[in-house]
Amino acid sequence: MTTRLYHHPICLEHVNSPGHPERPDRLRAIEKAISGDQFNALERLEAPEADPELFMLAHPKRHVKKVESLIPEEGFVRVDADTSACPQSWLAVKRAVGGALAGVDDVFEKRANNVFASVRPPGHHAEKSTAMGFCLINSVAVAARYAQEKYGAERIAIIDFDVHHGNGTQDIFYDDPSVLFASSHQMPLYPGTGALNETGMGNIFNTPLREGDGGSAFKEAYRQRVLPAIDNFAPDLILISAGFDAHHRDPLAGLELVADDFDWVTGKLMELATKHCDNRVVSILEGGYDLEGLAESAAAHINRLMVG
């Protein structure tokens, strides 16, 4: 089983204001965690630069142009209360989306069974016309539309296990039954969306968890709700918004997962990919703000992608 990882140095140059939890050290922590011999077989490539025209597969042109226009020549600019941009942010966004799209190409053209994009900024909070929650462009949403446009994928499942609800992805696909969106997340918590009754066209499967919930509640939620929904949907591609901030060490939330829980859910999603979509899985980094928790969880996730 071939696993590819996409990264790019420019993703380290997207910096937020001092003290911001979404920082370049996140990628450095992951890279260090996957430096051991067990990851020697991992194919590591630089993420290509995506054409911003492709962002318009998921966002209106006016949103894409607005975000690009906000990028400062120096210093920082506030996009909202907790989202900012610096001179290198647009270049980083193009590589972040580019890594996700290259992953889609790889799994459909059979260069890899699965792919992990170790990139930033994250994307799952970016709604159709609103940048928010550390996110400027929704990479996983662009990847889904790209798979539909280029490869004719009829059904795409997006699974988001970030501790924060993927409101942006839900917003983009809320009325689109060709895309299943399933999110497990702590509630109540930022951004305040993700209730059970937010069901779209029957394609939205939110699974809110309570502060203090750990691996047993997480696994039960997937067994009872998320995994059967994906199985019934029979997707042509599985995309993962891989946030690791449900780890018990994370400072921004209160779930109690450990690295083995991310290993478990990755394995379950891979089983469904084997059954329905010729192993095609593309995973894109979202949150995770404690460096130790992020590193061990991402390493478990990547290792499971590699070994099946």
User: Would you name the residues annotated as active-site residues?
Assistant: 125
Round to whole Å and give the CA distance between 6 and 47. Answer: 5
With vertex at residue 97, the alpha carbon angle to CA 196 and CA 179, rounded to the nearest 5 degrees, is: 35
3-state secondary structure at position 204: strand
Round to whole Å and give the CA distance between 163 and 254. Answer: 9
**Prior bond to 48 cis, omega within 30?**
no
The residue ranges of DSSP E strands in the chain, in sequence order, are 3-7, 43-46, 77-80, 83-85, 114-117, 156-160, 179-186, 204-209, 237-242, 281-285
DSSP for residue 224? I
CB 170 within 8 A of CB 200: yes
Paired sense of beta strands 83-85 and 281-285, if any = unpaired
Round to whole Å and give the CA distance between 304 and 308. Answer: 6
